[in-house]
Amino acid sequence: MLFLPICYTDKQTTVREVVAELKAAGASWIQFDEPTLVLDLDSHQLQAFTHAYSDLEASLSGLNVLIETYFADIPAGAYKTVTALKGVSAFGFDLVRGTKTLDLIKSAGFPSGKCLFAGVDDGRNIWPNDLTASLSTLHALEATVGKDKLVVSTSCSLLHTAVDLVNETKLDDEIKSWLAFAAQKVVEVNALAKALAGHKDEAFFSANAAAQASRKSSSRVNNAAVQRAAAALRVSDHRRKTNVSARLDAQQKKLNLPILPTTTIGSFPLLQSLISEDEYVKAIKGEISKVVKLQEELNIDVLVHGEPERNDMVEYFGEQMQGIAFTVNGWVQSYGSRCLKPPIIYGDVSCPKAMTVFWSSMAQSMTSRPMKGMLTGPVTILKWSFVRNDQPRFETCYQIALAIKDEVEDLEVAGIQVIQIDEAALREGLPLRKSEQAFYLEWAVHSFRITNCGVIDTTQIHTHMCYSNFNDIIHSIIDMDSDVITIENSRSDEKLLSVFRDGVKYGAGIGPGVYDIHSPRIPSTEEIADRINKMLAVLETNILWVNPDCGLKTRKYPEVMPVLTNMVAAAKLLRTQLASAR
Of 4 and 421, nearer to Zn ion (C-beta) is: 421
Whether 248 contacts 508, CB under 8 Å: yes
The option from ligand GLN, Zn ion, none interacting with 267 (CB < 5 to 8 A, set by class) reads: ligand GLN
Binding residues (CB under 6 A) for ligand GLN: these are: 265-267, 307, 313, 374, 422, 424, 464, 466, 550-551, 553
The option from Zn ion, ligand GLN, none interacting with 321 (CB < 5 to 8 A, set by class) reads: none
The option from Zn ion, ligand GLN, none interacting with 548 (CB < 5 to 8 A, set by class) reads: none
Give min distance, CB of 265 to Zn ion, in A: 6
Give min distance, CB of 420 to ligand GLN, in A: 7
Residue nearest to ligand GLN (CB): 551
Distances (CA, A) of 60 to 22, 52, 76: 10, 12, 26
Distances (CA, A) of 514 to 153, 273, 540: 46, 29, 16
Give min distance, CB of 381 to Zn ion, in A: 15
Of 92 and 306, nearer to ligand GLN (C-beta) is: 306
Give min distance, CB of 374 to ligand GLN, in A: 6
The option from Zn ion, ligand GLN, none interacting with 374 (CB < 5 to 8 A, set by class) reads: ligand GLN
Residue type for position 55: D
Q: How far apart are CA 68 and CA 31, in angstroms?
A: 7
Of 105 and 477, nearer to ligand GLN (C-beta) is: 477
Mark out the alpha helices in 61-130 (DSSP H runs).
76-83, 101-108
Give min distance, CB of 550 to ligand GLN, in A: 5
The torsion angle over the Cα atoms of residues 374, 380, 385 and 386, rounded to 10 degrees, is 150
The option from ligand GLN, Zn ion, none interacting with 266 (CB < 5 to 8 A, set by class) reads: ligand GLN
Binding residues (CB under 5 A) for Zn ion: these are: 424, 466, 550
Of 4 and 355, nearer to ligand GLN (C-beta) is: 355
Chain Cα centroid distance, residue 397? 12
Q: How far apart are CA 469 and CA 553, in angstroms?
A: 23
Per DSSP, the residues of 487-509 read E--TTTTTHHHHHHHTT----SE
Of 101 and 376, nearer to ligand GLN (C-beta) is: 376
Distances (CA, A) of 247 to 457, 507, 512: 5, 11, 21
Give min distance, CB of 419 to ligand GLN, in A: 12
Nearest Cα to 360, choosing from 398, 417, 311?
417
Whether 507 contacts 244, CB under 8 Å: yes
What's the helix, strand, coil split of the chain in %, to 5? 45, 15, 40
The option from Zn ion, ligand GLN, none interacting with 196 (CB < 5 to 8 A, set by class) reads: none
475 is catalytic: no
Of 319 and 395, nearer to ligand GLN (C-beta) is: 319
Active centre residues (catalytic): 518
